[in-house]
Amino acid sequence: TLKGVIFDLDGVIADTAVVHHAAWKKLASEAGIPFDDSVGERLKGVDRRGSLDILLEKSARTYSEAEKEALATRKNTYYREQIERFGPQNLLPGARKAIESVRHAGMKTALASASRNASLLLERLGIADLFDYVVDANHIGRAKPDPEIFLAAARGLGLAPSECLGVEDAAAGIASIHSAGMKAVGIGHAQALAGADVLLPNVAAFDISLFKT
């Protein structure tokens, strides 16, 4: 039976997918690297360095390690400039209610985010107290689509993976949830999230009563 729900952060709870996208796009344009929406979609849920490697696939030249480090840092600066100004208004509509529905049903909640900025965001959004356990990229070695982050979240809740449900907006995240042995709820469009067990258009459509058995 279902005892806990593990939420992704960017694109599920926080309205940051567009901010990440804009920061990468700005970096790409400055570096003269082609960037279109299909590249943007592939960056969702992928950690910072993995995202940079995807971006650089389209580059005409090669970059040294030090240059790559500098590019990743620059992107993060652009991103941080925006989220420093975030507040509860930057929660995606219905996100707080969705998480609270899980808690009111007596189940546990965890966060599994590939972002190293996750704790700053939780503070800014005012939702740090809604989670029983938080795992972000600072705590794990292998990024999504590896199952490590969702497994660590389940372990932190004291639950077996089969007792947990994962909620994600990115293909890499759905793959991570499935490899961890959990059912996956996709938030967004079918073409990007074909593997999800249940697909919802946005987090406002999530209510735990849909999944209770």
Does 47 sit near Mg ion (CB under 5 A)? no
Question: Is residue 36 among the annotated active site residues?
Answer: no
Q: Which residue has the tokens 């992704």?
A: 8
25's contact among Mg ion, ligand B16, none, with CB below 5 to 8 A by partner kind, is none
Does 51 sit near ligand B16 (CB under 6 A)? yes
Torsion of CA 153, 201, 130, 101, to 10 degrees: -110
Phi/psi of residue 158, each to 5°? 75, 30
Exactly one of 8, 132, 136, 148 binds Mg ion (CB under 5 A); that residue is 8
Radius of gyration of the chain (CA): 17
What DSSP assignment string belongs to 117-135?
THHHHHHHHT-GGG-SEEE
Specify the residue, 121 or 159, whose C-beta has the smaller distance to ligand B16. 121
Q: Report, in Å, the least distance between residue 49 CB and ligand B16.
A: 9
Exactly one of 4, 5, 7, 10 binds Mg ion (CB under 5 A); that residue is 10
What DSSP assignment string belongs to 83-151?
HTT--GGGBPTTHHHHHHHHHHTT-EEEEEES-TTHHHHHHHHT-GGG-SEEEETTT-SS-TTSTHHHH
Question: Which range of residues in 26-34, 39-47, 88-96, 101-109 is near ligand B16 by CB under 6 A?
Answer: 39-47
Question: Which range of residues in 61-69, 133-141, 161-169, 195-203 is near Mg ion by CB under 5 A?
Answer: 161-169
The answer to whether 44 is a known ligand-binding residue is: yes
Q: Which residue has the tokens 């959004």?
A: 125
Q: Report, in Å, the least distance between residue 199 CB and Mg ion.
A: 15
Instruction: Give the binding site for ligand B16 (CB under 6 A).
Output: 8-11, 20, 43-48, 51, 76, 113-117, 137, 170
Residues taking part in catalysis: 8, 10
